[in-house]
């Protein structure tokens, strides 16, 4: 699937979503929930394959991400992008100087600063304002993003910014619901979710102690011994993933009940 997202979002599943879709059973499902929605690539793909068939709940504790989603929902996204372009480019299309850029991204309480830091993240770690001698251009989204915008704006898409455990706990016994989790991997940055809004505790501890769900449950995780213990009673499908930046290959797992 082509990149549908408006920023580079760490951990997104757009390159592997087709493999995931082919290994989940949607029979009897009315609502699809992503408690760690991020780029929402799985829900977006399901909707592309099954237009207007399901209801969706997209949740993430990244409040800035959900603010941008809500800008799409309430038809102010284009205005927001125009503002970003005006902040970052002059009339000739040249990108702002480094001092101005860093001033923007250090404004932690600014949605504009959050967006600029992620949309033009490469500048922070390499040459300024070039990376691999490629010019930084004003934002001009393609028709691929138009499809994603249309998906978010649908009446059957609900946006939330709650603790993921609250969402799971609320819907775990609904047999017409599929909960798809793609949390931070436990050996990488799970501490972010443990300390950044997971009020009910650590997601892996929760799943170890609470995994007798009546809902359809799907977990997309990396392969390690801890996950094999937590999901020992679940069906396991493995697939290979090659990371775009490092080119390293890893085995990822789809656990389903």
Residue 198 has pLDDT above 60, yes or no: no
pLDDT of residue 127: 44
Output the six-digit token pair for 243.
């990371």
Question: Half-sphere exposure (CA, 13 Å, Cβ side) for 95?
Answer: 20
Mean pLDDT on 104-117: 87
Q: What is the mean pLDDT of the chain?
A: 84
- Distance (Å, whole) CA 91 – CA 98: 18
How does pLDDT run across 61-103, given as a tens digit for each residue?
Answer: 889 999 999 999 999 999 999 999 999 999 888 888 888 888 8
DSSP string, 149-164: HHHHTSTTEEEE-S-H
The domain defined by 17-70+144-218 folds into Rossmann fold (3.40.50)
Question: Half-sphere exposure (CA, 13 Å, Cβ side) for 94?
Answer: 6
Question: What's the predicted TM-score (pTM) here?
Answer: 0.88
């Amino acid at each position: 699937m082509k990149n549908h997202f408006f920023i580079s979002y760490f951990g997104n599943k757009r390159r592997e979503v087709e493999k995931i879709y082919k290994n989940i059973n949607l029979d009897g499902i009315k609502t699809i929930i992503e408690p760690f929605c991020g780029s929402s690539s799985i829900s977006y793909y399901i909707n592309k394959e099954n237009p207007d068939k399901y209801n969706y709940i997209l949740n993430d504790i990244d409040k800035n991400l959900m603010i941008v989603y809500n800008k799409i929902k309430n038809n102010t996204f284009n205005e927001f992008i125009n503002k970003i372009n005006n902040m970052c480019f002059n009339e000739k299309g040249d990108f702002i100087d480094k001092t101005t850029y860093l001033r923007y991204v250090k404004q932690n309480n600014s949605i504009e600063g959050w967006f600029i830091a992620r949309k033009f993240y490469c500048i922070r770690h390499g040459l300024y304002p070039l990376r691999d001698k490629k010019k930084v251009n004003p934002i001009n989204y393609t028709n691929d993003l138009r499809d994603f915008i249309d998906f978010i704006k649908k009446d059957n898409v609900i946006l939330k910014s709650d603790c993921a455990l609250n969402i799971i706990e609320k819907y775990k016994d609904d047999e017409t619901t599929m909960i798809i989790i793609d949390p931070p991997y436990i050996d990488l940055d799970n501490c972010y979710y443990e300390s950044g809004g997971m009020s009910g505790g650590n997601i892996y501890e929760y799943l170890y102690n609470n995994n007798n769900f009546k809902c359809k449950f799907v977990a997309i995780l990396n392969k390690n011994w801890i996950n094999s213990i937590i999901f020992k009673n679940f069906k396991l499908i493995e697939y290979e993933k090659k990371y775009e930046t490092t080119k390293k290959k890893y085995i990822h797992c789809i656990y389903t009940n």
